[in-house]
Structure 1
């Protein structure tokens, strides 16, 4: 079993702390590294990939140090967030070059296998510059997989993808994880949590804010306090109806604007429409007032 482990790992740049005392283990299967932009996800991945040294603590792959240990690349594949693929190359040429750099005994066979895994054989002889975003991502994954690594790290692999491309990539990651690989991908998109079948690690401001099964993390996100601005045919009457509800912690009505603080998002969402209908009130607008990613993730830090 190949596992990636961070033990009390920190990384700072002068007075800026990018990662702060993070301890986590990523084992076989599919794991999501979630957090808002600037949270430290890329730094964590670069520590795991041996591209950065920890300022303190340890980072190991299969029990061996990731930093200054070229041997880890025999079992590690990395797909960075920034694309740096020469557009004039074909997928075949790009993946074959990766196989040769790894000094594989049969580079051509390895390249064919990797392109087959990502289902790019039909387009492998076209220039990469003609590919869609999803096809370019799959080509980069093939290059990272060409030496059949046990660990695959992907930094924001869904950026710029449309829903169909995102679904295809997620299916690919699930399939590779089922083969026994240790796969970690970073993302700042909450909805992608729902498509995971494994573990979620949540990073906020360089700290590990939450860790566990995706269902548990989703409940933490969903059941946190929410603030809604509501528009209706009779805001004053609706405020009176809502103020006695167990899922409502506070109601304010300022200059005709109704704002509701819900202590339980799920219970409130289910009750609101029924209460309004029973009271003869027509709802015309419901706007979450606190749905920024930073606020969602910051709530996890405090729990």
Structure 2
């Protein structure tokens, strides 16, 4: 059983703190690293992969430090967010090169196995420069998998994949996790984490904002206060009607329409059509006005 640990880890660049005092443990299975862009997810992955040293704290795989420890790459595979593939190579050549770098006894057989895992055998002899982004992404995953590592780190692995490719990759991560591999993938999309991982680590502004079971964190995120911008055929009458709705905690009106504060997203969005219909009011606009990822994730810091 391979375990990855971060103990009180911080990483800063001059006066900029990218990661602030994070402690987490990854065990076999699939874990999602969730957070908005710029939250520090890539920095965490790079420290786990030994590409960056922590400014403070300790990052280990089975007790061995990842920094300045090339031996960890026998047990670790990384798919970085930034592409670093030579377009003049075919996928087969690229994955075989990775197998040779790992000094595998049969690089051709290992590459064939990895290409099959990501469904790239049919296009394996085409140059990578002819591939779609999703195909290039799957080729990079194959290169990271070629030595069958116990730890697999993936930075935004579903970027550029079409729905079928995405579903296949999610299934592959599930399969590897069930086999006992320790897998961490980063994403800024909640639904990706929901479909792949039951365990979530949420990072906001370099800090660990929430950790644990996906369902608990989902409840925290969906049960937070919500703000809606609303316009209708009779804003004043609608405002009066909405005040009596249990899920509504406040209503403001101005010349642009209504601002409604709701304590429960689901209850409000179900009640609004019923209330409008009962009052004979036509809804013209309904927009969540605080639904940026930053506001959703930042709420977890206060929860």
Structure 2 residue 60 is the aligned partner of structure 1 residue 60: yes
Give the Cα separation in 1 of the matches to 2:265 and 2:235. 20
| Contact kept in structure 2, 1:193 and 1:218, CA below 8 Å | no
User: In the alignment, which residue of structure 1 is the partner of 2:140?
Assistant: 140
Check 1:237–1:12 CA distance in 2 against 1; reply closer, same or farther (3 A cut): same
How far does the alpha carbon of each residue in 1:238-269 deviate from its partner, in whole angstroms, 9 at most, with x for none? 10011122211110011151110111112212
How far does the alpha carbon of each residue in 1:151-192 deviate from its partner, in whole angstroms, 9 at most, with x for none? 100111122333343333222222222222111111112232
Structure 2 residue 189 is the aligned partner of structure 1 residue 183: no
User: In the alignment, which residue of structure 1 is the partner of 2:241?
Assistant: 241
Give the Cα separation in 2 of the matches to 1:173 and 1:17. 31
User: In the alignment, which residue of structure 2 is the partner of 1:130?
Assistant: 130
User: In the alignment, which residue of structure 1 is the partner of 2:275?
Assistant: 275
How far does the alpha carbon of each residue in 1:69-119 deviate from its partner, in whole angstroms, 9 at most, with x for none? 111111100011111111110111000000000111111111111111111
TM-score for both structures, normalised by structure 2:
0.96
TM-score for both structures, normalised by structure 1:
0.96
User: In the alignment, which residue of structure 2 is the partner of 1:25?
Assistant: 25
| Contact kept in structure 1, 2:198 and 2:215, CA below 8 Å | no
User: In the alignment, which residue of structure 1 is the partner of 2:291?
Assistant: 291
Give the Cα separation in 2 of the matches to 1:108 and 1:135. 20
Give the Cα separation in 2 of the matches to 1:193 and 1:185. 9
Give the Cα separation in 2 of the matches to 1:166 and 1:108. 26
Q: Number of aligned pairs?
A: 303
User: In the alignment, which residue of structure 1 is the partner of 2:210?
Assistant: 210
| Contact kept in structure 2, 1:226 and 1:290, CA below 8 Å | yes
SS of alignment partner, residue 176 of structure 2 = helix
Residue 220 of structure 1: how far off its partner (Å): 1.3
Give the Cα separation in 1 of the matches to 2:45 and 2:271. 42
| Contact kept in structure 2, 1:29 and 1:198, CA below 8 Å | no
> 5+ residue gaps in structure 2?
none
User: In the alignment, which residue of structure 2 is the partner of 1:84?
Assistant: 84
User: In the alignment, which residue of structure 2 is the partner of 1:121?
Assistant: 121
Give the Cα separation in 1 of the matches to 2:199 and 2:286. 32
| Contact kept in structure 2, 1:235 and 1:256, CA below 8 Å | no
RMSD across aligned positions (CA): 1.3
Give the Cα separation in 2 of the matches to 1:106 and 1:48. 28
User: In the alignment, which residue of structure 2 is the partner of 1:200?
Assistant: 200
How far does the alpha carbon of each residue in 1:48-71 deviate from its partner, in whole angstroms, 9 at most, with x for none? 001111111111112211111111
Moved more, 59-68 or 270-279: 270-279
User: In the alignment, which residue of structure 1 is the partner of 2:12?
Assistant: 12
